Every structure is written in C-alpha cells, then in structure tokens.
Amino acid sequence: MMAFRKSGSLTTKHRGFTREDWELYSLFIPAAVLIIIFSYVPMWGIIIAFQDYIAGNSFFQLSSAKWVGFKHFRNFVNSMYFSRTLINTIRLSVMHLLFGFTTPIFFALLLNEVRTLRYKKFVQTASYLPYFISTVVAAGMVLSFLEVNGLINNLLGLLGLQPREYIASPSAYPWIYTATNVWKGFGFNSILYFSTISGIDPNLYESARIDGANRWQQILHITVPSILYIIAVQLVMQMGHILNTNTDLALLLYRSATYSTSDVIGTYVYRVGIHGGKYSYTAAVGLFQSVIAFTLTFITNKISNKLTGYGLW
Amino acid sequence: MTKDSPAVTNKKNRIREGSRAADAVIYLIAALAAFLCLYPLYYVFVLSLSEPMVAATMRVYWWPKGFYTGGYSRILTDSRLWISYRNTIFYAIVQALGMLFTCCTFAYPLSVKGLKGRKFVNIFLLTPMYISGGTIPRFLLILQTGLYNTMWALILPGIYSVWYIILVRSYFGTIPESLREAARIDGASHYQTLWNVYIPTSKPILAVIALYTIVGVWNSWFRPALYLTSQNLQPLQLYLRRILVENSINLSEEMASDELVAAAMAQRVSNNQLKYTVIIVSSLPMLIAYPFFQQYFVKGVMLGSLKE
C-alpha cells in the first residue's frame, strides 16, 4: 500500500523526492535522533548482560568483549537475592493491587453520591493534592512522622502502644510503602473513574428510580456496570506491571534493616549496579525483569482482547 | 466523554434519593478523605512555625506552639536552596519547550495522508514502548557519551516521549486536511503550516503535555541522582533529599567546630525543624498552582485512556 501515495496533497504530483518531501521528512529528524540514541542504543546495550563488560568500554566494541553466555542469569537465579527480591516485588505489587488499585474506584463511587456540588469539588481537589507533593517530600514526611517521638507513635501512644521504630521494622515496611503510594495516588487515579461516571446518561438513573430502585440498587446496577470495563482494562494493565514497583519511593524509604521485605528488583539493580559497579550482572537482572514483564503484558493483553475487546495492541 | 454541565449534574443528583443517614455517612467519609490529604501538609506547616523543642517531639497538632521563624530565615538565606530552585525551573522550562518541539515536529509528517514509509516510522516509534534497555544500559550510555554530570544528561533524554508523540499525532489527525491544503495553496511551506496552522489549533493538547512535563521534572529525583554529581547542577529534589532523607544538614558548618556540646544539641534540634520549613518552602509553588491547572490533568488522563 506504500507504492503510490493517494492523491490529495500537493506533493503527490511528483514521483521523485521533492523539496516538499525534504521538508516533511526533515521534521522527523530531531525526535528520531533522540529516540535512536536514548532508546535504541540502550536496547543494543542489553548485550552486556551476556558479556563481562569492562567499565569504560563502548557497547559497540565487540572485538574486545568477553562473552559469557547466560552466566550472569545463572548467578542471579542461584543467589539468595533471587527469591528475596522476587517475593518482595510480588508482595508489594499484590498489596498495591489490593489497596492502590481499589481505593480510587471506591473513592469515585463514594464521591459520586455526594450531592452538594461545591463540597464534591472541594473533596476532589483536596484528593489531588498528594499527587502534586513530590516523592522526596512525601518520603521525608513519612520518615519524620514515623520517628520514635513522632506523630504516629504519639497517636498510637494514646491507645497505649509503646513507641517503636516502625521504619526499621521489616514487618511494617510493606504497609508503610503501600500506604504512602495509596495516599499519593488515590485521588489522581480516581479521575478516570470520575470522568467515566459523569458520562453516564442521567436518564438511566431516572428510569431506574421510576422502577423503584433505591440508591444502593442504582449504584449496583447502573454506576458499577458502567465503569466495569474501564476497571477490567486497568486491571489487565496492572498485571503486566507486577514486577515493576515504585523504585523512586522504595529507594527513599528502605534501609538495610528492612531489606528482608523491602529489597525489590529495582532497588537491587540500583544498589549492586550503579553503586556496586556490577554492570553486566545487573543488566542481566534488569533483562530478566523486562522479559517477564513483557511476557505478562503479552498474555494479559491477549486475555483482555478476548474478554473486553480492548487491549494495548 | 464530555463532562456534564452543572445543570445536568444537579438534575442527576436531585433525582437520586437516599436516606439522610446514608448521606451523613457518605459526607463524613468524604470529609475524612479530604482531611487525610490536607492535614499532613498542614501539620508540617504547624511544626515549621512552632518552637524547635516542641517540633522535635511533635507534641502539637492544630496550632503552632510559640512562634518561631528562625527556620524560615535560615532556609531562605541558604544559597544552595536557591541554586537548586533555579536549576529546577530551568530544567522544567527547557524540557517542556523541548518536549513540545519534538512532539510537534515528529507528529506533523505522520498526519500527512499517504506519507511514504509511514508504517516503518510507526514501528520505529512504537518499539521503545515495549522494549527498553533498562536502568544500567541507559546509565552506561550517559557515561560513554560524556554527558555524565552535565545538564544535557538530564535534558536530552527528557525532551522526547513516544507516548506524547502519539497523543499529538492523534490530535493532529483530527484537524481537517482542508486546513493544510488551504495553507499549502497559499504558498506556505510545511514548516509554516505546522507553525501557523497546526500548533495554534492544538493548544489544548500542547498545554496538557507541557504541564505533565513540568510536573514530571519537578518531581523527579532518581535520574538527576544517577547523572548529576555536582550540586551546582542538581535540581531542588536532590537538595530536599539531602535534608529530608539523608539527614545531612550543614547550613552552618563553620560554627560547629567551636560550639559546645549543648549548643550542638540545640543545633541538632533546630536542624530537625529545618525539614518542615524546607518542605513548606519547596512545595508552596506547586500547591498554589495545581488547583488552577488540575483541569488539564483531568483532560490528560482522559486522553491517555483513549485507545488508538
């Protein structure tokens, strides 16, 4: 279908490469150069996962590269870090699905039942605020509030609990991390559901009311079914990200005392790769993560296409 | 997916009945949600103005105890705060402009009907959405290209986004072809058509992309931490990280050596309070601005949810 252009634009009158063609194609150059350098070259750079990469070498110096096959992958899978980071990553992802994914939905359903428009707008705007607080500030607040003589321990003290250093507690860490994530995102993530709900035809509610449906039945039989498909698509997309945690936040909140529950693939790659300088090894760990993520996305996308008729491709 | 006009929403709300008790519970939970979102930052504000000793033990909840502005005067006179502030503003402006430039230039030819090689360009564009090199190869690339510890390490990878290009391309696709034809017949080049016809017509989507980019730059700390070691180049978030997370505050190093232990303790207490002060000082611009541009974010979320 690319042999001849359809008629309609002025440039199609010439068969050769005209000045207008040059104008048109030259517009690709700025972004294309950046995409090649910063997206495609790193893809090529994945080959270091199969080498013993020497720091300072170029990705393209293949003659001096020492190829080691799957050595780094085997090392990772056989190390204690494999099960630890994998389990921690999946634990945090599942907790995110249980709380981070559901809270925006419930929040949107709840707020839709608020009838005073100004009050509704106020709560909505307030709920977006944490999204505009930077990750560093959010983490800083969490760390301060959780200090032994901090806000949280003071409040728990009123209930008679002894002060504890929760941030150093491996059992508390997943909850702290999840709560911070939910707090930062629930309002903003509910926008999608708000907008979908506001697009529902008001006549549906009217006729339901005439049929004698009470408020709860209206929610259950009109509002929920109307957003169900958005929920399904979002859920499928989340499944593809099950090995991706919020490394930006984790790196700020975790510490060696909580590694047993807080060390995820993202933080491990950062610590051992960037700080430890084991580039080839961590490139292999990163590739392992990407391949699984890609496979999961692929499978869930297939399922989504089957169930909802919508998918990423 | 249009938003309801207030009249329609009111009507919808009016026709739905429920018990008073249910209403009360719903309003209460909504109030609680709003409280949980607003109070932590308000609390930080209260601490930032309280006496340092009170702030240290956090025995204050609703109103500052005492009135202490020492934290603010110390933080506002720290030149490193202003350098990092300036850097963040610089990166935000440059990256937003760069992002708009690469998005518009790349999306425009794709909107021309019957472009030769469109299929190839689309594959070229979409592949990075599904395959990425990962943190380590990206980091090594920055080292190999000599961009490490220069502002370009942040700017160059940050001024393109495949996703935003796709959004602009879809938007350009909705502009009637006849507009381009008319401009071309009047003798406008493609560059002129893009600049004089397409960009002015696409202001809504461009505003969305600019704002998302600015908030992204404002928030990001991970990439700057990877690529920039010089404090003169680092953005605000890294300055904040040093104070809030790494606890390394040394605004007055020159004093520390000849101070007594008690004085050092007092210093430590008031240093701790600096955290709250710096949170307020650094978050204020965004907090004032976001209610005004939240509509663009709502629009962005809706655009993002649209499938090709």
pLDDT of residue B299: 80
Distance CA A242, CA A89 (A): 8
pLDDT of residue B157: 95
Q: Is B146 within 8 Å of chain A by CB?
A: no
- Asked whether the CA dihedral B251, B257, B258, B264 is positive or negative, the reply is positive
Average pLDDT over residues B102-113: 93
pLDDT in tens, B197-236: 999 999 989 999 999 999 999 999 999 999 999 989 999 9
Query: What CATH superfamily is the domain B75-308?
Result: MetI-like (1.10.3720.10)
Average pLDDT over residues A26-53: 93
pLDDT in tens, B225-284: 999 999 899 999 999 998 888 776 555 444 445 555 666 666 666 777 888 899 999 999
Of the partner residues A132, A199, A283, the one whose CB lies closest to the CB of residue B215: A132
With a cut of 80, say whether residue B161 has pLDDT above it. Answer: yes
pLDDT above 90 covers what percent of chain A?
46
pLDDT of residue B1: 39
Indicate the Cα dihedral angle B68, B72, B75, B79, nearest 10°. Answer: -140
Average pLDDT over residues B182-195: 90
Distance CA B7, CA A148 (A): 52
Q: Which residue has the higher pLDDT, B106 or B4?
A: B106
With a cut of 60, say whether residue A1 has pLDDT above it. Answer: no
- Residues of B97-109 as b/e, b for ≥16 C-beta within 10 angstroms? ebbbebbbbbbbb
Of the partner residues A27, A130, A141, the one whose CB lies closest to the CB of residue B108: A27
Residue A207: beta bridge partners?
A: none
Strand segments (E) across chain A: none
Of B233, B254, B231, B260, nearest in space to B243 by CA: B231
Confidence band, pLDDT 50/70/90 cuts, at residue A17: confident
Query: Domain limits of chain B?
Result: 1-68, 75-308
Confidence band, pLDDT 50/70/90 cuts, at residue B4: very low
With a cut of 70, say whether residue A5 has pLDDT above it. Answer: no
**What Rg, from alpha-carbon coordinates, does chain A have?**
26
Q: Is B232 within 8 Å of chain A by CB?
A: no
Distance CA B205, CA A220 (A): 35
Q: Is A115 within 8 Å of chain B by CB?
A: yes
pLDDT of residue A162: 86
pLDDT of residue B307: 41
Q: Which residue has the higher pLDDT, B6 or B197?
A: B197
Token pair listed for B136: 């380590």
Residues of chain B with C-beta less than 8 angstroms from the C-beta of A43? 128, 131-133, 137
With a cut of 80, say whether residue B83 has pLDDT above it. Answer: yes
3-state class percentages of chain A: helix first, strand second, coil last, to nearest 5: 75, 0, 25
Average pLDDT over residues B28-35: 94
Residue A26: HSE in the Cβ half-sphere, 13 Å Cα cutoff: 11
> How many Å lie between the alpha carbon of A47 and the closest alpha carbon of chain B?
9
Size of interface A-B (CB pairs under 8 A): 310
Query: Domain limits of chain A?
Result: 13-69, 78-308
Question: Is the CB of B38 less than 8 angstroms away from the CB of A279?
Answer: no
pLDDT of residue A10: 46
**Cα separation of the two ends of chain A:** 21
Distance CA A10, CA B170 (A): 22
pLDDT of residue B238: 93
Those of residues 174-213 in A touching chain B at CB distance below 8 A are 183, 187-188, 191-192, 194-196, 198-199, 202, 205-206, 209
Give the architecture (CATH level 2) of A78-308: Orthogonal Bundle (1.10)
Model ipTM value: 0.84
Token pair listed for A85: 């980071």
Token pair listed for B131: 């395959």
> How many Å lie between the alpha carbon of B97 and the closest alpha carbon of chain A?
13
Token pair listed for A62: 């293949």
> How many Å lie between the alpha carbon of A25 and the closest alpha carbon of chain B?
7
Q: Is B188 within 8 Å of chain A by CB?
A: no
Cβ contacts of residue A140 below 8 Å, gap of 6+?
A252, B240, B243, B244, B245, B275, B279
Of A90, A138, A134, A121, nearest in space to A242 by CA: A90
Average pLDDT over residues A12-31: 79
pLDDT of residue A8: 44
Tokens 């002025």 — which residue?
A10
pLDDT above 70 covers what percent of chain B?
85
Amino acid at B251: L
Q: Is A20 within 8 Å of chain B by CB?
A: yes
- CB burial class (10 A; 0-12, 13-18, 19+) of residue A73? middle
Q: Has this prediction a pTM greater than 0.80?
A: yes
pLDDT in tens, A249-275: 999 999 888 999 999 999 999 999 998
For A71, A115, A138, B115, B305, the CA distances from A225, given in Å and listed in that order, are 50, 21, 35, 42, 18
Residues of chain A with C-beta less than 8 angstroms from the C-beta of B6? 117
Question: Is the CB of B128 less than 8 angstroms away from the CB of A59?
Answer: no
Q: Which residue has the higher pLDDT, B54 or A161?
A: A161
